[in-house]
Amino acid sequence: MAIALGMPTSPPALAVPLTFAPRLKHYLWGGRRLEELFGRRLPPGVTAESWEVSGYPAEPSVVADGPLAGRELPDLVAQYGVDLLGRRGARAVESGTFPLLVKLLDASHALSVQVHPDDAWAAAHGTGESGKDEMWHILHAEPGACIVHGLRTGVDRAALRGAVAEGRVQDALNRVPVHHGDSIMVPAGTVHGILSGVVLLEVQQTSDTTYRIYDWDRLGPDGRPRELHVDRALEVIDFGHAGAAPAEPRLVEAGGGMRREVVAECGHFVVERLRAGAGAIFAANLDGESFEVWGTVAGTASLHPSRAPALGMEPARFILLPATMGPFTLQALTETVAIRVFLP
């Protein structure tokens, strides 16, 4: 949770950064590393995901503090529209959807191997949701940790169908080693899976349409194998090139004790990483183009809106800045790494 640093005031609602109570998910592949790495208070058992900023209708974020406390994010989209999302979010306003979902994942065990459709396929097949491009930013990786990203060279639709039928799916998967600080773009249509020993930040389109191809022959909580969706997966997989993994950061700005890079981008979002030395200040102005989501993944910082009290930023907690919030600065109190997300 962000910590208020300034004196209490009564600024306009959209002049205030929005903080949220995380929504925790307790899937069988989770662990307790969100507690170990970031000091999260977790309930007993395993925690697999923490949804930080969510407009997903069944699991919406609820504002934790300020003049909009207690309000759900989809309700705010309906009320404030482009003033909240920005002009780049006009289509999302029309559909009544907050377009992105930001969450943390603790993969103490491997997730299923799966694929998501793109927007065109989702619309043509009446899923009721968008497609799903996503990206992963690695916050922790144990020695030897890997992900699944795409298929091995030469694996086409017929070869993958045969591998499924013969129980050889693992032989078809492209495994990629990952390390702390890596970023991986996972376009819709890419076969993928997060394997054990990885904690990451995920930014994705607001969609939960997922087709499982393989689940490591394990049983679900009910003692039965989880459902697979092989035929649908074979329809949506892009058997072409899945793209580089990890992605090479693109430098945007350097100087003044800071380095700002684009670590992932697609037609639905841009993700930047800001590395800042202690005392460095980043300044920007939200003039109605796009909302921004900010969070620190290392070090400590404070966020200073021009029309609202300052906020201290806890590690790996994320704040939504409305598109019309106006000027703000982010000051690194220690050596800091921050993540910035916005609409392209």
> Partners of 120 in the beta sheet?
none
- Can you tell me the distance from the alpha carbon of 95 to that of 74, in angstroms, rounded to the nearest whole number? 11
Q: Which of 33, 40, 212, 273 is catalytic?
A: 212
Give yes or no for a contact between 101 and 206, defined as CB atoms under 8 angstroms apart: yes
292: nearest Cα among 318, 261, 331: 318
Task: State how beta strands 318-321 and 258-265 pair.
Answer: unpaired
Give yes or no for a contact between 236 and 71, defined as CB atoms under 8 angstroms apart: no
User: Residues 66, 71, 72, 73: is their CA dihedral positive or negative?
Assistant: negative
73: nearest Cα among 81, 64, 63: 63
Give yes or no for a contact between 30 and 108, defined as CB atoms under 8 angstroms apart: yes
The length of the chain in residues reads: 344
Reduced to 3 states, what is the DSSP secondary structure of residue 119?
Answer: helix
C-alpha separations of 196 from 102, 167, 252 in Å: 20, 21, 33
Concerning whether 212 is annotated as a catalytic residue, the answer is yes
Active site residues: 212
